[in-house]
């Protein structure tokens, strides 16, 4: 589609009608209209809609823009899908030669999607499902909430899902790779007799489940089990309910982090829909960085027991390392959000939650002195040292003084004595400025930070492609099926450029290209361009292009061989296939050797 065609669609748009179609109330003010911004929480309208300029823009958060940008943001869709929606809204026929490359993980998403529908049907249409419904209703869930979260039920039979997937012509190897089917002693379901909570990735693709036991008397069975690591499920990157919470996180300018799914649902029922949780593991750097794209404000509300406190202290460190402002809620009597809602109701829970937000220093102080016997000299000394360590890193002298006075009062000690001990403490040059909590003696070891790109060749080729449509097509055709020599995010961006942007436009326009990207893609593109500027990378000549392509092809050989080795080692691979894959590995190594000699 040419630029003129897009302009025609925009010009035909009644921007007031478009915005109003999303239940945004607008009031006329002169030539323009004003309303509350749909992209962030506000009490005073700062969202301006201009019929003359065809713009819907928020002066508070910067959200919105022209009709296409507005639809992209409010629907969380890409540029092409936004054009389609806008054309339909205006009754204009849309024709484009753009075709998306099929996601290589689509077969796994389809398997998980079928499993979601199967578990939902088993929940809704069986007697066993009635037992699960009774359990969930007693836990405070409503039919509406159960439907909102797509909660289902895995049958007790060990091969029910397997038979459904097999009858739907899915390959057994793909079933196993999806993480939903085991192939030990025959094919059988991974989840049996559990309530199923579907899990989605950041883009809303179904990737796995968290499964809760509800009718098994065996105390050795874990309460929850989650999908195992698979082709699409990577627990360090997964956040339950994130696909639904993203919009609320941006709107409320905060994210609420809980420990479990039932806690997330408790907040959801209470109107706090920006709640998410990790999948039975501690918060990772990767998860924190994903959240940071949407907000820099985090509220941690874990269980008030010893384990919850320990996890909270870890999460504080991770969030602070990424750059978040952190607040916490410490529920009374060691309760978790789900327990609090069941006992006091959603209104009391929300009231308590919003009225008891504390910063990380206050939280760490409270949990350090909690339930301590200060008549024991050893306990007294340990607590004082922990609080001194906490305050040592605090720059504000007034905050330090206020906490030292509180410590004196809480330990029934004179302020002068506490101050003297603190001064002696900071005089020790070996003092550790990191807060040492009472529940975890080991330091958190940050995840290894891997290189963002496989090779600088990725950046060089992308610059060449930006310079010329013909060059971009030439590079793409020369690479062929060796695109996996790029890192996945670069490959995705490359596909956007060649198969989306250049299918519609002849010359590169950075502003227009960025409009076609999601928030995550735009962030990655910015990182690439920053790396280009810092590395002083400039396009050179045809020989340089060939060298870069050769480098990517070499890396592609390595990537293909890793995939082939994984297939060879799979228990599901026949001897004949193993031999075939081994031969492919040999040919790839031979090809790589030949390319290396040419260089």
Tell me which of 145 and 584 has the higher pLDDT.
Answer: 145
Treating both helix axes as pointing N-terminal to C-terminal, what angle do 306-322 and 360-369 enclose, rounded to 10 degrees? Answer: 150
Supply the CATH number for residue 33's domain: 3.90.580.10
Tokens matching residue 60: 């508070």
- What is the C-alpha separation between 521 and 512, in angstroms, rounded? 14
Q: Which of 231, 217, 210 is nearest to 154 (CA)?
A: 210
- 257 shares its domain with 194: no
- 285 shares its domain with 168: no
Element (H, E) at 64: strand 64-65
- What is the C-alpha separation between 274 and 246, in angstroms, rounded? 7
- 228 shares its domain with 274: no
- What is the C-alpha separation between 197 and 193, in angstroms, rounded? 13
Residues 6+ apart with CB under 8 A from 319: 283, 288, 298, 300, 326
| pTM over cut 0.75 | no
Would 407 be classed as within a structural domain? yes
The residue-averaged pLDDT of 325-353 equals 94
Would 376 be classed as within a structural domain? yes
- 384 shares its domain with 420: yes
pLDDT tens figures, 151-198: 999 999 999 999 999 999 999 999 999 999 998 888 999 999 999 999
Domain boundary (340, 365, 390) is at: 365
Would 32 be classed as within a structural domain? yes
- What is the C-alpha separation between 557 and 121, in angstroms, rounded? 44
Q: Which of 450, 432, 449 is nearest to 441 (CA)?
A: 432
Q: How many CB atoms lie within 10 A of CB 509?
A: 11
Would 449 be classed as within a structural domain? no
- 118 shares its domain with 215: yes
Tokens matching residue 288: 């924190």
**Total count of domains within the chain:** 5
Give the chain's mean pLDDT: 83
Domain boundary (57, 90, 123) is at: 90
The secondary structure of residue 447, as a DSSP letter, is: P
Q: Which of 277, 258, 409 is nearest to 329 (CA)?
A: 258
- What is the C-alpha separation between 554 and 561, in angstroms, rounded? 11
pLDDT tens figures, 472-495: 888 888 887 777 778 788 888 888
- 114 shares its domain with 69: no
What are 258's strand-pairing partners? 277
The residue-averaged pLDDT of 567-590 equals 64
DSSP per-residue codes, 509-565: -HHHHHHTS-HHHHHHHHHHHHHHHHHT-----HHHHHHHHHHHHHHHHHHHHHHHH
Name the burial class of residue 185, with classes exposed (0-12), middle (13-18) and buried (19+) by CB atoms within 10 angstroms of its CB: exposed
Taking a C-beta distance cutoff of 8 angstroms, is the pair 310, 444 a contact?
A: no
Q: Which of 151, 141, 129, 315 is nearest to 240 (CA)?
A: 151
pLDDT score at 429 = 32
Q: Which of 282, 196, 201, 302 is nearest to 246 (CA)?
A: 201
Domain boundary (39, 64, 90) is at: 90
- 251 shares its domain with 331: yes
Q: Dihedrals φ, ψ of 90, to 5°? A: -90, 0
pLDDT tens figures, 15-28: 999 998 877 889 99
Q: How many CB atoms lie within 10 A of CB 138?
A: 10
pLDDT score at 433 = 34
Secondary structure of residue 224 in the 3-state scheme:
strand
Tell me which of 431 and 302 has the higher pLDDT.
Answer: 302
- What is the C-alpha separation between 369 and 379, in angstroms, rounded? 10
The residue-averaged pLDDT of 349-368 equals 94
- What is the C-alpha separation between 213 and 215, in angstroms, rounded? 6
Residues 6+ apart with CB under 8 A from 98: 1, 80, 499, 500, 503, 504
pLDDT tens figures, 197-221: 999 998 889 999 999 998 876 667 8
Would 435 be classed as within a structural domain? no
Would 441 be classed as within a structural domain? no
- What is the C-alpha separation between 551 and 499, in angstroms, rounded? 22
Q: In angstroms, how far is the first alpha carbon of the chain from the final one?
A: 41
Would 524 be classed as within a structural domain? yes
Residue 445 — pLDDT band, cuts 50, 70, 90? Answer: very low
Q: Dihedrals φ, ψ of 443, to 5°? A: -75, 150
Q: How many CB atoms lie within 10 A of CB 269?
A: 22
pLDDT score at 282 = 86
Residue range(s) defining the domain that contains residue 296: 242-365
pLDDT score at 203 = 80
Angle ∠(409,325,364) on CA atoms, nearest 5: 30
- 173 shares its domain with 228: yes
pLDDT tens figures, 94-123: 766 555 556 788 999 999 999 999 999 999
pLDDT score at 217 = 65
- What is the C-alpha separation between 65 and 55, in angstroms, rounded? 5
The residue-averaged pLDDT of 527-540 equals 59
| R_g over Cα of the chain | 28
> Would the pLDDT of 77 be above 80?
no
- 460 shares its domain with 594: yes
- 592 shares its domain with 473: yes
- What is the C-alpha separation between 212 and 199, in angstroms, rounded? 13
What does the buried/exposed string (b/e) look like for 270-287 if buried means 16 or more CB atoms within 10 Å of the residue's CB?
bebbbbbbbbbeebbbbb
Taking a C-beta distance cutoff of 8 angstroms, is the pair 276, 247 a contact?
A: no
């Amino acid at each position: 589609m040419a630029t003129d065609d897009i302009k025609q669609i925009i010009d035909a748009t009644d921007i007031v009608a478009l915005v109003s179609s999303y239940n945004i109330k607008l009031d006329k003010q002169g030539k323009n209209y004003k309303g509350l911004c749909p992209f962030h929480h506000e009490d005073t309208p700062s969202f301006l809609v201009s019929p003359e300029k065809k713009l819907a823009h928020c002066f508070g958060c910067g959200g919105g823009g022209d009709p296409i940008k507005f639809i992209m943001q409010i629907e969380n869709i890409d540029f092409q899908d936004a054009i389609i929606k806008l054309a339909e809204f205006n009754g204009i026929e849309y024709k484009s030669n753009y075709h998306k490359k099929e996601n290589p993980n689509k077969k796994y998403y389809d398997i998980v999607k079928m499993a979601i529908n199967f578990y939902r049907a088993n929940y809704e249409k069986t007697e066993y499902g009635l037992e699960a419904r009774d359990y969930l209703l007693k836990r405070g869930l409503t039919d509406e909430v159960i439907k909102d979260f797509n909660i289902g039920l895995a049958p007790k039979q060990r091969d029910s899902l397997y038979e459904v997937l097999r009858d739907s012509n899915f390959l057994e190897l793909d079933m196993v790779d999806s993480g939903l089917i085991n192939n030990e002693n025959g094919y059988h379901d991974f989840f049996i007799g559990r309530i199923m909570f579907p899990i989605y990735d950041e883009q809303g693709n179904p990737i796995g489940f968290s499964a809760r036991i509800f009718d098994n008397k065996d105390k050795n069975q874990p309460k929850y089990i989650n999908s195992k690591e698979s082709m699409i499920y990577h627990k360090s990157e997964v956040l339950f309910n994130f696909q639904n919470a993203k919009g609320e996180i941006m709107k409320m300018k905060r994210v609420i982090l809980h420990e479990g799914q039932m806690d997330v649902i408790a907040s959801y029922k209470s109107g706090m829909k920006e709640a998410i949780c990790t999948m039975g593991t501690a918060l990772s750097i990767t998860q924190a960085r994903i959240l940071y794209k949407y907000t820099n404000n985090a509220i941690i509300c874990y269980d008030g027991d010893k384990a919850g406190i320990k996890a909270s202290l870890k999460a504080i460190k991770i969030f602070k390392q990424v750059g978040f402002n952190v607040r916490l809620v410490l529920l009374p009597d060691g309760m978790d959000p789900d327990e609090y809602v069941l006992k006091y109701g959603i209104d009391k829970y929300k009231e308590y939650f919003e009225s008891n937000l504390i910063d990380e220093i206050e939280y760490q102080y409270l949990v350090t002195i909690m339930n301590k016997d200060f008549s024991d000299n050893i306990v007294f000394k340990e607590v004082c040292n922990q609080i001194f360590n906490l305050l040592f890193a605090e720059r504000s002298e007034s905050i330090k003084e206020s906490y030292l006075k509180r410590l004196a009062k809480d330990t029934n000690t004179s302020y002068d004595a506490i101050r003297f001990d603190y001064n002696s403490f900071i005089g020790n040059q070996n003092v550790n400025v990191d807060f040492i909590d009472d529940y975890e003696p080991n330091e958190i070891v940050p995840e290894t930070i891997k290189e963002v790109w496989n090779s600088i060749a990725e950046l060089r080729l992308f610059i060449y492609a930006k310079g010329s449509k013909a060059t971009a097509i030439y590079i793409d055709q020369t690479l062929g099926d060796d695109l996996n020599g790029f890192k996945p995010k670069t490959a995705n961006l490359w596909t956007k450029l060649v198969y989306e942007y250049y299918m519609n436009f002849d010359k590169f326009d950075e502003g227009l290209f960025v409009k076609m990207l999601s928030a995550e893609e735009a962030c990655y593109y910015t990182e690439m361009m920053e790396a280009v500027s810092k590395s002083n990378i400039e396009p050179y000549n045809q020989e340089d292009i060939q060298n870069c392509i050769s480098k990517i092809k070499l890396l592609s050989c390595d990537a293909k061989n890793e995939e082939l080795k994984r297939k060879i080692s799979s228990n599901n691979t026949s001897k004949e296939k193993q031999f075939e894959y081994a031969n492919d590995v040999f040919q790839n190594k031979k090809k790589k050797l030949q390319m290396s000699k040419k260089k």
